[in-house]
Amino acid sequence: MDLHLDGRRAIVTGGSRGIGLATARALAAEGVRVALVARDADGLAAAAAGLSEAGAPEVMEVPTDTTDDAAVRAMTGTVADRFGGVDVLVNAAARPASAGPPTDLASVTDDAVRTELETKLLGYLRCARAVAPLMTAQGWGRIVNVSGLNARKSTSLVGSVRNVAVASMSAALAQELGPHGVNVTVVHPGITQTERTPGVIADRAAAAGTDEAAARAELDATTTIGRITTAAEVADVITFLCSPRSVAINGDAVPTGGGTPGTTHY
């Protein structure tokens, strides 16, 4: 299937690693010119070099802190000036749920919640607000917000709150921007195989007093496909949502965690 993405221009936040970088790779493979955005300049440079070596049509890196609105607007202007516009925004700049603060009521602090909302919810909002005028002016665009399956669970107070908020924001933006040709969707990855996974498995094994094979099997059992998904597999779904082919999906949440056993969502 031709996704009709060749020549499009994308911003991917959180693009130096994990799902963000995997998405940038997938988009570049479809002929998309990609701007990688993250706070770590060295990580961005390495990621951009890797994409270029793999044959990406055009890659630029723009170190940016998405908690700073002025920095986000400057980044968007820089990308638009070089690429001549922006067609796609993938928001993935957020701390993984497993790296977040304590989630029990007695331990969680106001500042911990503020930090998560400032980075994920408001960071995504700032980026969407900056690119939306460019997209609506040309009558086409795609915004994909990477959230997480904690939105559908009650196991993480902070993780659930921030992810539900992202989903709600995405639906509101979709309703406003959809008539102007700009679709907004949210994807909910579960536990995903990234460069962080070996460390996560080692930590879980140590905490449980078991070996890493048992810890990995426990993670794999949380899905209905019998294993956790990879960042590249999540990126494949995101890439489709970035394409003109996804026009029938707007404002909706798409789970990409390999299926959750024992649940029905309708």
Count how many domains the chain has.
Answer: 2
For residue 204, is pLDDT > 90?
A: no
Q: Which domain covers residue 84, as residue numbers?
A: 9-190+231-255
Kindly indicate the confidence band of residue 199, based on its pLDDT and cuts at 50, 70 and 90: confident
pTM of the model: 0.95
**Number of neighbours of residue 84 by Cβ within 10 angstroms:** 9
Would residue 262 count as lying in a domain? no
For residue 32, is pLDDT > 70?
A: yes
Kindly indicate the confidence band of residue 96, based on its pLDDT and cuts at 50, 70 and 90: confident
Tell which residue, 126, 239, 140, 128, has the closest CA to residue 183.
Answer: 140
**What's residue 153's pLDDT?**
84
70 and 149 part of one domain: yes
For residue 7, is pLDDT > 70?
A: yes
Measured between alpha carbons, how far is residue 210 from residues 36, 201, 204, 206 in Å?
39, 11, 8, 6
Query: CA 161, 109, 153 angle in degrees (round to 5)?
Result: 25
CATH of the domain at 69: 3.40.50.720
Over the stretch 71-87, which tens digit does the pLDDT of each residue have? Answer: 999 999 999 999 999 99
**What's residue 263's pLDDT?**
87
For residue 156, is pLDDT > 90?
A: no
203 and 139 part of one domain: no
Q: How far apart are CA 256 and CA 84, in angstroms?
A: 32
**Who has greater pLDDT, 193 or 35?**
35
138 and 52 part of one domain: yes
Would residue 212 count as lying in a domain? yes
Would residue 1 count as lying in a domain? no
For residue 122, is pLDDT > 70?
A: yes
Kindly indicate the confidence band of residue 105, based on its pLDDT and cuts at 50, 70 and 90: confident
| Span of 85-99, 113-127, 166-180, 239-253 with lowest mean pLDDT | 85-99
| Average pLDDT of the residues in 150-169 | 89
Over the stretch 212-245, which tens digit does the pLDDT of each residue have? Answer: 999 899 999 999 999 999 999 999 999 999 999 9
Q: How far apart are CA 155 and CA 176, in angstroms?
A: 32
